[in-house]
Amino acid sequence: MIMNVAYVAFGGAIGAALRYLVGLSVIRAIGQGALGGFPVAIITVNILGSFLMGVFVVAAAQRGLTHLSPLVMTGLLGGFTTFSAFSLETVTLIERGQWGAAGVYVALSVIGSVGALFLGVLIARGVFA
């Protein structure tokens, strides 16, 4: 039990650092105000993290790597994806009166993330079959 907690903590630290770096890279690539404050960095992280979760779920199941789930799924990818930040950004858009942008943000985040996970599963099944 204590080792799993350590794996989650270690993975979470790496995931959070990667989230920061990917977010920073996206903002630098498109510019801070390029989309009127629309949280594209967080959408990018959520969709990428969901895709990687889909790939890992299949790889772990087919390669006998489920023992790495606390490290990878809960820690690394849990620290990487940002649905708490997603919620904050949604509320911020709503509070600014940007209801349309908030709706688009929620729809893109949810549909994109679920779609990316599904795509990750399909690709991983083809690779690991």
Digit-coded pLDDT (tens) for 43-62 = 999 999 999 999 999 999 99
Binding residues are: 78, 81
How many domains are contained in the chain?
Answer: 1
In the chain, which residue ranges form alpha helices assigned H by DSSP?
Answer: 2-30, 40-63, 69, 78-80, 83-95, 99-128
Show the domain range for 6: 2-128
**pLDDT given for residue 34 in this prediction:** 72
* pLDDT one-digit tens code per residue, 12-43: 999 999 999 999 999 999 887 777 888 899 89
Q: What single DSSP character describes residue 71? A: I
pLDDT surpassing 90 at residue 88: no
Q: Which residues carry a binding-site annotation for Na(+)?
A: 78, 81
Closest to 89 in 3D by CA, of 26, 41, 49: 41
